Amino acid sequence: MKNPTIIDVAKQAGVSWKTVSRVVNGEPNVRPATAERVRSVIADLAYRPNTAARSLAGERTFLIAALTASLSAHYSVALHRGASVICRERGFHLALEELDSSDPAMLAQFERAVATASFDGAIVPPPLCNDPAVLAILDRYDVRYVLLDPIDEVNAAPMIVADDAVGVDAMVEYAAALGHRRFAFVEGPPAHRASGVRREAYHAAIARHVGECAVMCASGAFTFASGMEAGERLFNLRDRPTFVFAANDDMAVGVVAAAHRAGLATPGDISVAGFDDSEAAQLVWPSLTTVRQPISEIAKAAVETLISKPSLPSVMKALFDVDFIIRGSTGPVPYV
């Protein structure tokens, strides 16, 4: 059976082949209803554009890079899943580039990949979005990029962030209503904007909903092991906290494990909450109270920005909502 062509798509959609080309290439000036009809026909016919021909004609490679500092983390998996969906729908390919920017050899290898692959754009999540060396390589080869959750807005690149403070505020309001007055925070690495934002939001929410209250802090590394170590330190304190918020779910699950090891019931003795709503949050027992951020949707928005805007705006900041999810790891304050 002959593979469908762009002409076949155009005939069935009732448009010109140029319109189909514009939709496939993510170009503007196509009415949303028309673009949706064309995409529907493309899906029905299982049409696959000739990427090589498109690249020669338009000087584009139709290749989007998704950078990551860790392929195993929930954040990275969700990010890649969302980005790949949009790339597949729009006729682009997604290249996963794992990078440890502190390793000179790996950084050099990344530069060679950027020089030879001619990416049409790159999604740069934390902590890489805050690394001048990584951004300098992308700039050197004129690769357009979208930053996800950067620490600051010094760089003129478009950025997409989640409204973490809203979810943290809802969490603290809930904890205060349960009677909690001794709080702790397990923070992530300083290079991650998210950890600092969540720490500041936690302190602000406690001041707003509880009042004058000291917050115990422990350092972590966004890993289960570091969360467990942080939990052990907190639970050895004389006046241990009754409510612990960890800056991501992996660390929160580690805190729950530390509580079990110390003979403390969750949530009978210790309430624990995390952030992300990862798979681990629902697999641990008790299931984890957390803040869900739409990582896949953020990735989709980043890809759409790269594909649909041939010339990226110098100032663009998109804000995504989060949701507070109550599960079994939190409960009323214990009588201690």
Predicted confidence (pLDDT) per residue in 280-328, tens digit: 899 999 999 999 999 999 999 999 888 876 555 555 678 888 999 999 9
Residue that has been written with the tokens 């989007």 in this structure = 64
67 strand-pairing partners: 97
**Percent of the chain with pLDDT strictly greater than 90:** 41
Alpha helices for 178-243 (secondary structure H): 193-209, 224-235
Give the Cα-Cα-Cα angle 298, 304, 306 (nearest 5 degrees): 105
Angstrom distances, CA of residue 65 to CA of 62, 149, 177, 308, 322: 10, 17, 45, 16, 26
Predicted pLDDT at 49: 64
d(CA 319, CA 96): 24
What is the pLDDT of the chain when averaged over all its residues?
Answer: 86
Looking at residue 185, its amino acid is: F
Task: State mean pLDDT over 201-229.
Answer: 92
Q: Residue 132's pLDDT is what? A: 87
pTM for the whole thing? 0.74
CA dist 301 and 221 (Å) reads 27
What is the number of other CB atoms lying within 10 angstroms of the CB of residue 119? 23
Higher pLDDT, 121 or 310: 121
Total Cβ atoms within 10 A of residue 267: 24
Q: Are 225 and 250 in contact (CB under 8 A)?
A: no
Beta pairing partners, 122: 65, 145
